[in-house]
Chains A and B, each alone.
Chain A
Amino acid sequence: MSRLDAIRRAALELLSSARRIAGRLWCAAARLWEAAARFWDTVRPTTRRGAALGLATIVGGASLLAVVFFVGATVAWSPYLESSVHPDTNARTWAALEPTYARDGTCATCHAIEAGKAATASHAGITCQSCHGALLDHSLASPGTAEVTAGLAVPTNEVCVRCHASAAGRPESLRQVEPARHYISECLQCHDPHTGISRRPPVVLHTLENLPPCTTCHGPEGFKARNQRHPAIENDALCLPCHAAGRGPEDR
């Protein structure tokens, strides 16, 4: 109870001192006003008129300018108005972003051989950047500098299987393999990526010594003949000339 009293008393005292301060302020203002009025009375009427007119011009003009500027700017940048400049300035900011993918056809200016190969085969119509990624920086780099090769990588199997791994929904007309059952190691070991054509028979990836005959594991059905080109093999001697590492005929 006494704590509450103390607080109440303190609040009352604060209030009364605030009242005192307000009273003093008011008195000071009144004195100032009286002084101003006394001074005004001593000024000649013509000077008074001139001063009043000048003051009115300055204050009125400034207010008018402020209103015009404020209203105009509010309208111009209002987020709620179709006519505001906000969409336009922002759209320009979006438009000013830098691309990372080069325009189609840029690559062929330097890489005409690869582009030409691709244009004549089943990969025709696929742009370079589909597999190679964004190449604008590469195309803009000055020849011989480190920027030319910065971030460049030979596409891996990951890129090939995106299209060629069989999956529900892919059209029959698209060449599809089951990667686990295809002769898979590196797609590029056998396929020319630009034409898509298999350029050599798949090489044997395991050791060739001390093994039973090839047909022990690889029956005629074992590695399915792609394109039905492969005859059934009865004899090891017929396998290895083509399939031993590095012995495949180049580019069929």
Chain B
Amino acid sequence: MAAPSATPPATPSVTPPAGLVPLTEIAPAIAAISVSRRRFLGFGLAIIGGLSGAAGLSRLFPVFEDTESAPPPIIPAYDPVGKAWTFVVDSSACIGCGLCVVACKEENDVTEDARFARTWVERHAVTTDGTRYVDSPDGGIDGFPATSTAPGAEGKTVAEAFFEPRLCMQCEDSPCTAVCPVSATYKTEDGIILVDPRRCIGCGYCVVACPYGARYIAPAADRSPNDTPGVADKCTWCYHRISRGDLPACVEVCPVGARKFGDASDPKSEIATIVRERAPKPLHPEFGTRPRVLYLGPAVEEA
């Protein structure tokens, strides 16, 4: 133990590193300039408060944001109330040409990378040894080669096969809207599920939640309403087309009529007739999401 020293407490003997002013030297200065500093701080706080308040307000009311930057969008006159949009896919008719995938990319400016597809086509093939293989080379954007490209199917002879076009099922009980922590994805009055890219934080919960694999995080700007990369994206059933009375682009280009689309609330429409007479069924009803894309042919018979 050191003996108590008679000398007064030593002044700091450590030389502060160059460039650092010891706090002991600053403190009196602070006291001296406190009045002017106080006024300065007051001004600063007022400015900061005002700015953050304004930022918070515009965040809270996003409608204030886009009036100056972008011209107001042309809103087509469209009444979503009472629409029963229905999509029927006939897997027995599909020939796997991939034109729907091409049209979707073109129509919606989906990123070039074939792995990011709002719609894609799968080929379900059973080889002669009874094994079932599913392949979808680049989502079917370039069509399909003669035999299955699924791993393990090389050299095997395909006994039976069919094509299964896939897209967003626009489920009635949609898990994607349920899990979104910021409610950026939501269902419109006509049942289409959309994403608000300005609210989406890109967390990817919805991508994981979708049992049909319809969602992805867009790596580059799609032609979303505000061209935001890094937000969730998916098929909208070409919302901009159907609200104008057109068909979705994939339906428009399908050369064999494997994709049918329409408003089933009109009992005389083609789609209502198909639903009534041919009783299409959803894929994997056991997922319990009540999908609104219905399938005909081997996709449901053999699923």
Q: Which residues of A contact B (CB under 8 A)?
A: 2-3, 5-6, 9-11, 13-14, 16-17, 20-21, 24-25, 73-74, 77, 79-80, 85-87, 89-101, 103-104, 123, 125-127, 129-130, 133-134, 161-163, 165-171, 174, 178
Contact A94 B183 (CB under 8 A): no
Chain A CB within 8 A of B162 CB: yes
Q: Is the CB of B14 within 8 A of A101?
A: no
Contact A171 to B240, CB < 8 A, known contacts A14-B27, A96-B76: no
Across the interface, B76 reaches (CB within 8 A) one of A80, A95, A101, A162, namely: A95
**Chain A residue, CB-CB nearest to B241:** A99
Q: Which B residues touch A16, using CB under 8 A?
A: 27
A-B contact list, 22 entries, CB within 8 Å: A2-B10, A6-B14, A25-B38, A73-B60, A77-B61, A87-B188, A87-B194, A91-B188, A92-B73, A96-B75, A101-B107, A101-B249, A130-B253, A134-B103, A167-B146, A169-B124, A169-B125, A169-B144, A169-B158, A169-B161, A174-B95, A178-B146
Query: CB distance B31 to A17 under 8 Å?
Result: yes
CB distance from A139 to the nearest CB of B (A): 13
Given contacts A93-B73, A103-B246, contact A167 B27 (CB under 8 A): no
Q: Tell me the bound Cα distance from A86 to B203 in angstroms.
A: 20
What's the minimum C-beta distance from B199 to chain A, rounded to whole angstroms?
6
Give the shortest distance, in Å, between B161 (CB) and chain A (any CB): 3
Q: How far is the CB of A84 from chain B (nearest CB, A)?
A: 8
Contacts of B192 in A (CB 8 A): 91
What's the Cα separation between A89 and B92 when bound, in Å? Answer: 39
Q: Name the residue of chain B whose CB is nearest to the CB of A90.
A: B196
Is B291 interfacial (CB-CB < 8 Å)?
no
**Extra pairs beyond A97-B240, A168-B144 (11, CB < 8 Å):** A6-B12, A17-B31, A21-B31, A21-B38, A77-B63, A97-B239, A98-B240, A125-B257, A127-B255, A169-B123, A169-B124
Cα-based distance from A86 to B65 in the complex (angstroms): 13
B208 within 8 A of A: no
B97 & A95 in contact (Cβ 8 Å cutoff): no
B84 interfacial by beta-carbon distance below 8 Å: no
Q: Are A87 and B186 in contact (CB under 8 A)?
A: yes
**In the complex, are the beta carbons of B143 and A2 less than 8 A apart?**
no
Q: Render B136-171 as a binary contact track against A, CB cut-off 8 A, 1 for contact.
A: 000000111111100000000010011100000000
Residue B50 lies at the interface, judged by CB distance under 8 Å to chain A:
no
Complex CA gap A118/B48 in Å reads: 69
Binding site for A on B (CB under 8 A): 9-10, 12-14, 22-24, 27-28, 30-31, 34, 38, 60-63, 73-76, 78, 80, 92, 95-99, 102-103, 106-107, 123-125, 142-148, 158, 161-163, 182-184, 186-188, 192, 194, 196, 198-199, 223, 225-226, 236, 238-241, 243-244, 246-247, 249, 252-257
B143's closest neighbor in chain A, by CB? A162
B22 touches A10 (CB 8 A): yes
- Given A127-B253, A169-B162, residue A94 in contact with residue B239 (CB < 8 A): yes
Top 9 A-B pairs ranked by shortest CB distance? A169-B161, A10-B23, A6-B12, A96-B73, A79-B183, A97-B240, A168-B158, A93-B225, A162-B97
The answer to whether A17 and B78 touch (CB under 8 A), given A91-B239, A168-B161, is no
Q: How far does the Cβ of B96 sit from chain A's closest Cβ, in whole Å?
A: 6
If the complex has contacts A11-B23, A89-B63, are A95 and B239 also in contact, measured as CB distance less than 8 A? yes
Residues of chain B contacted by A163 (CB below 8 angstroms): 95, 97, 143, 255
Q: How far is the CB of B253 from chain A (nearest CB, A)?
A: 4
Shortest C-beta distance, B256 to chain A (Å), equals 8
| Nearest CB in chain A: distance from B237 CB, A | 10
Contact A2 B240 (CB under 8 A): no
Chain B residues near A98 (CB-CB < 8 A): 240
Q: Which residues of A contact B142 (CB under 8 A)?
A: 162
CA distance A74 to B60 in the complex (A): 7
Q: How far is the CB of A94 from chain B (nearest CB, A)?
A: 5
Chain B residues near A101 (CB-CB < 8 A): 103, 106-107, 241, 246, 249, 252-253
**A168-B125 contact given A90-B225, A95-B78, CB 8 Å threshold:** yes
